[in-house]
Amino acid sequence: MTFIGALCLLLVLTTLAGHLSNRIGIPSVIGQILVGIIVGPALLNWIQLNNMINLFSQIGVIILMFIGGLESNLKLLRKYLRPAIIVAVIGVIFPVVMIGAACIAFSFSPLEAIFIGVVFSATSVSISVEVLRDYKSLDTKEGATILGAAVADDIIGVILLSIMISLMGSQGVKTGGSSTSLALVFIEQIAFFVLTYLMVKWIVPYVMRIGERLLMASSVTITSMVICLGMAYIAEVVGLSGAVGAFFAGIAVAHTPYRETIENHMEPIGYAVFVPMFFVSIGLNMSFAHIGDSILFVGILTFLACISKLFGCGLGAILNGFNLNSSYMIGSGMISRGEMGLITAQIGFSSGLLSDAYYSDLILVIILSTLIAPFLLKHAIHLLPADDKADLSLDMENGVSGDR
């Protein structure tokens, strides 16, 4: 019951914080993260991160990305697949090189420096999805590029992390509780994307039709939730983020006649409890215990964490013909590290790639960059000129969105 009391308090505070954030014109996620910082170990220490909050947080990420997939446009994603991959690749190279070089300057070993660069090569699209949804920009060419690049980013990050753990002499990468070879991890991930194609094309439409025939209240919604959780679990088993699996599950369900029904049912489920807990958990991870000893290191890494993605992904967008405002929006949308950075840091820490002394500093940098990202993305969205929106409308008229 202690958790129930904490949950009640957090829901009250996140609702008020989201309301106040919207009133003063900042993304609601900022208010929710700040709630975690204020009531958590960083300031008041009323509530600590525990297994139950972590569980609710993980479900929140999965539901948020499932809704993001539901609201995405597969034809638009296909159209901007090439720029998304280029944005992702350059957006990985910049953090690894810039942050790795900075860490070597702080007397880290080369392996530790590269690993820290890999941690900051990850992108958490969950927070960007929320901001894009708030400002009606999810279904745009920039939104599609951010989503596609974040998925590619996740895959590249997993591969780099797998290679580094192998270099440390590990027998392989832990996925789903078992140790597998690096080659097998790659094969499993390829199999996952083959399965995803089959799910989108045939399996999910068939399963959803079966769900509709079940004599059970909300059977279609339950069926979609099973698909969402199942694909999230499979993605985790093969070494990807569960958020990636949930995102593709949302895309698969979006291409059935039940998309609108599922969207109307899933939003209350996610936003009533689970999604706010995800954003709160980011703040609860924060601690200022030893900030005085490493403030320079944290400050420089936070700056580089933001700049490396902003310029790296922005450059990738420019090379693909996006204008400066669109490139700024894409770069801003890729800055947030969130749960992906936290997960990568934890895996590397437990595998011996990072010492205890700097683990908490990295967590702080991840959270600070995650706090900054929504402000930059909001600013970038407001800079988009009206003609860019007109281009999107033309795409829609030409049938880009006809597959919804």
Tell me the CATH number at 312. Answer: 1.20.1530.20
Residue 400 confidence (pLDDT): 43
Looking at the predicted structure, is the pLDDT value of residue 152 above 90? no
pLDDT tens digits for range 210-226? 999 999 889 999 999 99
Looking at the predicted structure, is the pLDDT value of residue 192 above 70? yes
Dihedral of CA atoms 377, 380, 381, 387 in degrees, nearest 10, equals -160
Instruction: Say which residue, 198 or 172, is predicted with more confidence.
Output: 198
Looking at the predicted structure, is the pLDDT value of residue 342 above 80? no
Residue 328 confidence (pLDDT): 96
pLDDT-derived band at 388, boundaries 50, 70, 90: low
Least-confidence region, from 42-46, 347-351, 381-385? 347-351
CA-based nearest residue to 185, from 167, 159, 154, 156: 159
- Residues 189-199, mean pLDDT to the nearest whole number: 90
Least-confidence region, from 36-45, 151-160, 302-311? 151-160
**How many domains is the chain built from?**
1
The answer as to whether 389 is a domain residue is no
Q: Which residues pair with 175 in a beta bridge?
A: 178
Looking at the predicted structure, is the pLDDT value of residue 129 above 90? no
- Residues 350-360, mean pLDDT to the nearest whole number: 72
- Which tokens sit at 76? 């638009």
Least-confidence region, from 14-23, 107-116, 126-135, 386-395? 386-395
Residue 225 confidence (pLDDT): 96
CA-based nearest residue to 42, from 282, 290, 288: 288
Element (H, E) at 174: strand 173-175
82-108 b/e with 16+ CB inside 10 Å = b?
A: ebbbbbbbbbbbbbbebbbebbbeeeb
CA-based nearest residue to 259, from 221, 228, 226: 221
The answer as to whether 298 is a domain residue is yes
The answer as to whether 142 is a domain residue is yes
The answer as to whether 227 is a domain residue is yes
CA distances from 117 to 161, 330, 344 (A): 10, 20, 11
The answer as to whether 218 is a domain residue is yes
The answer as to whether 256 is a domain residue is yes
pLDDT-derived band at 399, boundaries 50, 70, 90: very low
Sorted by sequence, the CB contacts under 8 Å of residue 280 that are 6+ apart come out as 10, 14, 32, 33, 35, 36, 53, 57
Dist CA 260 CA 203 (whole Å):
19
pLDDT-derived band at 173, boundaries 50, 70, 90: very low
What is the number of helices (H) and of strands (E) in the chain? 19, 2
The answer as to whether 404 is a domain residue is no
Looking at the predicted structure, is the pLDDT value of residue 402 above 80? no
Looking at the predicted structure, is the pLDDT value of residue 356 above 90? no
∠ CA 131-380-312, nearest 5°, is 100
pLDDT tens digits for range 234-265? 988 887 778 888 989 999 999 899 999 999 99
Looking at the predicted structure, is the pLDDT value of residue 36 above 50? yes
The answer as to whether 301 is a domain residue is yes
Instruction: Say which residue, 291 or 6, is predicted with more confidence.
Output: 6
* Alpha helix stretches (DSSP H) within 106-181: 110-119, 125-134, 141-167
Looking at the predicted structure, is the pLDDT value of residue 398 above 80? no
CA-based nearest residue to 373, from 57, 146, 66, 107: 146
Residue 167 confidence (pLDDT): 63
* Range(s) of the domain holding residue 68: 1-170+181-384
pLDDT tens digits for range 53-112? 999 999 998 998 899 888 877 777 788 889 999 999 999 999 999 999 999 999 888 888
Dihedral sign of CA atoms 11, 12, 15, 16 in order: negative
Instruction: Say which residue, 390 or 388, is predicted with more confidence.
Output: 388
